[in-house]
């Protein structure tokens, strides 16, 4: 053949092989024999070897190529990969469905139900239909670049099918290994005298993170896609189930067991049917996932922290094993809480080896009567969290030791206190305890507190371990030169962090109070304290009774607030922070009576505001006396509408609710026009 004829044949072969891959891996309906497929691939390789200039990255022959990588790069997800809240009982699912319906103010909801694959979450980025990047979930915001390895997975198309593929599409899925492939992998490893894997999930994770893609290619990984992240200008379908159907049209593999079910009864029925089929599926699952099928309802429901309100993972019952308690040690948390942790004789349960189990607090430890030397039943609740279920008294040795609360903190040696009637014991060391110091600094720098971008966990640990930062005030004396000398920091990163520290000095009183880490003072309580007293000095000097007058602040929280400001070392840190430039505007006080320009209003915000983030707008509305909710209902009295408003606007119009724009909202809260 001539060169043009070869180029035409190469294009034909690639299209045929892609079609056969789609039918084999996605439809599970091959139309040619393995021998015929191998012949097509061999012909393509021969033609590409004869014409290397015609080889393209998305050719089926290029799934595995190049030298092994020395490390994995970091990828920032365009849309975060969120975790799911768990449901362990039918009542948990009933409660989830009730919350969904109440927030949406509807009678029934359809859910997309799917097996929860026990694998490794992955994000695939396609640009103009070509696979350009693959990344692990990581911490949900940043993951590892494993593009070369994912290209070796035959069920992952290098090029999407069809002529109407989006210019940009991030696909979310789960990489897994079938039980058959896992058994074959371990058998080969055993024959070679190599280490075997403990379960298919670990085998999949280890295979995906091989530095040599050729090793990954030999491990027979698979992928099920379950959703999308960034979608560019793609007209996303109205329902999650329709998104999955579109992914299948693009040549992506989705789990064939996915169904749309009606309401909580349909969800629980699906859970039962999948549970009975669990052993026959050929791959490991640890539960099922329910997702609200309508995407506009998903948007209305939104998120809590790092989990969506519109989805839940219904976990299968835990697996149990017995083992021996070798010791009990105490860990110290951010607020000084001492948590007893049982050190166990390692035991394989629920697919992993468990050697440490939290006992939560002294009351829980006493209730279960766990002693050092006891034989205990260990369970992985929901196949995730290890716990001690019970002690086996008949196996208790004569020398079993009762666990006693230590008198001194195991980290700093400070006195340990335990309030009467409380289960939790605490270190009294405050800021002198290095265990609390790390957590206090992480909390202080977090996004909802002082929002110091670039001050991550690793950097906090370095600064604390080096003795450079003992209190939050020390952060503001850091220089770019000394930061540049730290591990994983360079001149540019150091300069950016110094700039972030400088920006964080201008904050708000609610954020500052939340950042201090006062026990039991979350964002809502910090906002209530700020809007009640208006000025930090007024709160610092308030009596216990005066603090209790704050809306939603009871005697326990009031005592914690008062104890915090009664501690001279805490006042000293606050003074140092202000001395180093941390400041905020005073807040117009709104007393417990709820006085304010929006007093009595039940308010919802929808769409995108130009001058305020959603959180800032909610804080401002609460400060003005309004009750802020997430969904429109008959109780809603006011809807604030920004750009691209959706179903909440339509519902408010149907209910005759007062609707105002951003400028009117700013006028009502006293913020003026933009």
For position 203, what pLDDT does the model report?
85
For position 257, what pLDDT does the model report?
95
Nearest to 553 by CA among 521, 595, 599: 521
Number of Cβ within a 10 Å radius of residue 341: 15
What superfamily does domain 320-402 belong to in CATH?
Nucleic acid-binding proteins (2.40.50.140)
Rounded Cα gap, residues 131 and 145, in angstroms: 13
DSSP-assigned letters across all residues of 35-97 = HHHHHHHHHHHHHHHH-GGG--TTSGGGSS-SPPPSSPPEEE-SS------EE-SHHHHHHHH
What's the burial of 639, exposed, middle or buried (CB within 10 Å: 0-12/13-18/19+)?
buried
297-328 per-position pLDDT tens digit: 999 999 876 789 999 999 887 678 899 999 99
User: In this structure, what token pair is assigned to residue 671?
Assistant: 């913020």
Task: Give me the catalytic one of 116, 291, 315, 651.
Answer: 116
Q: Are 532 and 592 spatial neighbours (Cβ–Cβ below 8 Å)?
A: yes
What superfamily does domain 86-315 belong to in CATH?
DNA ligase/mRNA capping enzyme (3.30.470.30)
Question: What is the assigned CATH class of domain 430-504?
Answer: mainly alpha
Q: Where in the chain is the domain with CATH 3.30.470.30?
A: 86-315
Positive or negative, the CA dihedral 536, 538, 541, 546 is negative
Architecture of the CATH domain 509-579: Orthogonal Bundle (1.10)
Collapse the DSSP code of 478 into the 3-class scheme (helix H, G, I; strand E, B; otherwise coil) and give the result: coil
How many Å is the maximal CA-CA distance in the chain? Answer: 94
Q: Where in the chain is the domain with CATH 2.40.50.140?
A: 320-402
Residue 116 annotated as catalytic:
yes
CATH 1.10.287.610 holds for 3-62: yes
519-557 per-position pLDDT tens digit: 788 887 888 899 889 999 999 999 998 998 887 788 878
For position 11, what pLDDT does the model report?
86
Q: Where in the chain is the domain with CATH 1.10.150.20?
A: 430-504, 509-579
For position 102, what pLDDT does the model report?
94
Q: Are 528 and 553 spatial neighbours (Cβ–Cβ below 8 Å)?
A: yes
- Please provide the CATH number assigned to the domain covering 602-668: 3.40.50.10190
For position 67, what pLDDT does the model report?
45
Nearest to 188 by CA among 212, 210, 215, 208: 215
In Å, what is the CA distance from 135 to each residue of 36, 150, 268, 556, 571? Answer: 34, 9, 33, 45, 45
Number of Cβ within a 10 Å radius of residue 613: 10
- Give the CA dihedral 277, 281, 283, 285, nearest 10 degrees: -30
- Which residues, given as ranges, of the chain have pLDDT below 70? 1-2, 24-30, 32, 34-35, 38, 63-71, 305, 318, 351, 381-384, 430-432, 589-595, 671-674
In this structure, which long-range contacts are made by residues 192-201, counting pairs with CB atoms below 8 Å and at least 24 apart in sequence? 198/348, 198/351, 198/352, 198/353, 199/118, 199/284, 199/351, 199/352, 200/118, 200/119, 200/176, 200/283, 200/284, 201/118, 201/119, 201/120, 201/176, 201/177, 201/284, 201/351
Nearest to 221 by CA among 96, 105, 63: 63
Question: 389 phi and psi, to 5 degrees?
Answer: -80, -50
User: In this structure, what token pair is assigned to residue 201?
Assistant: 């999930």
What's the burial of 402, exposed, middle or buried (CB within 10 Å: 0-12/13-18/19+)?
exposed
In Å, what is the CA distance from 301 to each residue of 72, 97, 378? Answer: 36, 12, 36
For position 193, what pLDDT does the model report?
80
Rounded Cα gap, residues 475 and 459, in angstroms: 11
Three-state SS for 108-138 is CCEEEEEEEECCEEEEEEEECCEEEEEEECC
């Amino acid at each position: 053949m001539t060169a043009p004829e070869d180029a035409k044949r190469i294009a034909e072969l690639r299209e045929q092989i892609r079609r056969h891959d789609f039918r084999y891996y996605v439809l599970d309906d091959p139309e040619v024999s393995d021998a015929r497929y191998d012949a097509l691939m061999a012909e393509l390789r021969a033609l590409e070897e004869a014409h290397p200039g015609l080889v393209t990255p998305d050719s089926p022959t290029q799934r595995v190529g190049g030298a092994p990588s020395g490390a994995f790069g970091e990828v920032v997800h365009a849309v975060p990969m969120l975790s799911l809240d768990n449901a362990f009982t039918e009542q948990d699912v009933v409660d989830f469905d009730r919350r969904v319906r109440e927030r949406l103010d509807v009678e029934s909801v359809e859910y997309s139900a799917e097996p929860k694959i026990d694998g490794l979450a992955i994000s695939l980025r396609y640009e103009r239909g070509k696979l350009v990047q693959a990344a692990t979930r990581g911490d949900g915001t940043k993951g590892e670049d494993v593009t070369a390895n994912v290209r070796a997975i035959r069920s992952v198309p290098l090029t999407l099918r069809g002529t109407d593929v989006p210019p940009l599409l991030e696909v979310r899925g789960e990489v897994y290994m079938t039980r058959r492939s896992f058994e074959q992998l371990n058998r080969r490893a055993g024959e070679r005298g190599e280490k075997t894997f403990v379960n298919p999930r670990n085998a999949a994770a280890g295979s995906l993170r091989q530095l040599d893609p050729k090793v990954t290619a030999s491990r027979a990984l698979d992928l099920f896609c379950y959703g999308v992240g960034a979608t560019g200008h793609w007209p996303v379908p109205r329902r999650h189930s329709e998104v999955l159907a579109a992914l299948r049209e693009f040549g992506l593999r989705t789990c064939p067991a996915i169904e749309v079910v009606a309401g909580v009864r349909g969800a629980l029925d699906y859970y039962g049917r999948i549970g009975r089929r669990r052993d026959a599926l050929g791959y490991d699952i640890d539960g099922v996932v329910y997702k609200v099928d309508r995407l506009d309802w998903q948007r209305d429901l939104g998120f809590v922290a790092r989990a969506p309100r519109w989805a839940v993972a219904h976990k299968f019952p835990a697996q149990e094993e017995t083992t021996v308690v070798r010791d009990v040690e105490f860990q110290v948390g951010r607020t000084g809480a001492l948590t007893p942790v049982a050190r166990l004789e390692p035991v394989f349960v629920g697919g992993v080896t468990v050697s440490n189990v939290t006992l939560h607090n002294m009351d829980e430890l006493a209730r279960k009567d766990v002693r050092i030397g006891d034989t205990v039943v260990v369970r992985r609740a929901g196949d995730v969290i290890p716990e001690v279920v019970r002690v086996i008294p008949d196996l208790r040795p004569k020398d079993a030791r009762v666990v006693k609360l230590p008198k001194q903190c195991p980290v700093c040696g400070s006195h340990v206190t335990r309030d009467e009637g409380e289960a939790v014991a605490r270190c009294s060391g405050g800021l002198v305890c290095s265990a609390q110091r790390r957590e206090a600094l992480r909390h202080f720098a977090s996004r909802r507190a002082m929002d110091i971008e670039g001050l991550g966990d690793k950097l906090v640990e370095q600064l604390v371990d080096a003795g450079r930062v003992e209190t939050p005030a020390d952060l503001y004396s850091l220089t770019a030169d000394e930061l540049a000398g730290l591990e994983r920091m360079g001149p540019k990163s150091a300069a950016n962090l110094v700039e972030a520290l400088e920006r964080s000095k201008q904050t708000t009183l609610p954020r500052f109070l939340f950042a201090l880490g006062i026990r039991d003072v979350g964002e809502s309580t910090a906002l209530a304290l700020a809007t009640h007293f208006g000025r930090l000095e007024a709160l610092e000097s308030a009596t216990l009774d005066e603090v209790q007058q704050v809306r939603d602040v009871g005697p326990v929280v009031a005592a914690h607030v008062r104890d915090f400001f009664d501690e001279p070392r805490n006042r000293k840190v606050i003074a140092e922070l202000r001395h180093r430039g941390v400041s905020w505007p005073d807040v117009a006080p709104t007393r417990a009576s709820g006085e304010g320009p929006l007093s009595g209003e039940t308010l919802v915000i929808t769409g995108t505001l130009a001058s305020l983030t959603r959180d800032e707008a909610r804080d401002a509305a609460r400060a003005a006396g309004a009750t802020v909710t997430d969904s429109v209902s008959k109780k809603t009295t006011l809807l604030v509408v920004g750009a691209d408003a959706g179903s909440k606007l339509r519902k408010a119009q149907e209910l005759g609710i007062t609707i105002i724009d951003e400028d009117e909202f700013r006028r009502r809260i006293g913020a003026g026009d933009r």
